[in-house]
Amino acid sequence: MRIYATAQLGEAITVDFSSCFGSVVDWLSVRVVDLGRTSKKHINIGNVCQAGAVMADIDLDFQTADAGASSTYPTQCSGLRKNGHVVLKGRACKIVEMSTSKTGKHGHAKVHMIGIDIFTGKKYEDICPSTHNMDVPNIKRNDYNLLNINDGYLALYMPDGQVREDLKLPEGELGCEINSRFEKGEDLSVTVLCAMNEECAVAVKATTK
Q: What are 115's strand-pairing partners?
A: 95, 124
CATH classification of the domain holding 85 = 2.30.30.30
Same domain flag for 197 and 144: yes
Same domain flag for 180 and 193: yes
CATH classification of the domain holding 188 = 2.40.50.140
Q: What is the pLDDT of residues 60-99, one digit of tens each?
A: 443 333 444 589 999 999 899 999 999 999 999 999 999 9
Predicted confidence (pLDDT) at residue 109 exceeds the cutoff of 80: yes
Parent domain of 168: 140-206
Q: What is the pLDDT of residues 126-162, one digit of tens each?
A: 999 988 999 999 999 999 999 999 999 999 999 999 9
Same domain flag for 126 and 158: no
Same domain flag for 90 and 110: yes
Which pLDDT score, from 0 to 100, does residue 13 have?
43
Same domain flag for 78 and 133: yes
Same domain flag for 56 and 76: no
Q: What is the pLDDT of residues 151-207, one digit of tens each?
A: 999 999 999 999 999 999 999 999 999 999 999 999 999 999 999 999 999 999 999
Same domain flag for 183 and 144: yes
What are the backbone angles phi and psi of residue 20, rounded to the nearest 5°? Answer: -90, -40
Q: What is the mean pLDDT of the chain?
A: 76
Which pLDDT score, from 0 to 100, does residue 147 have?
96
* Tally of domains within the chain: 3
Q: What are 61's strand-pairing partners?
A: 4, 42
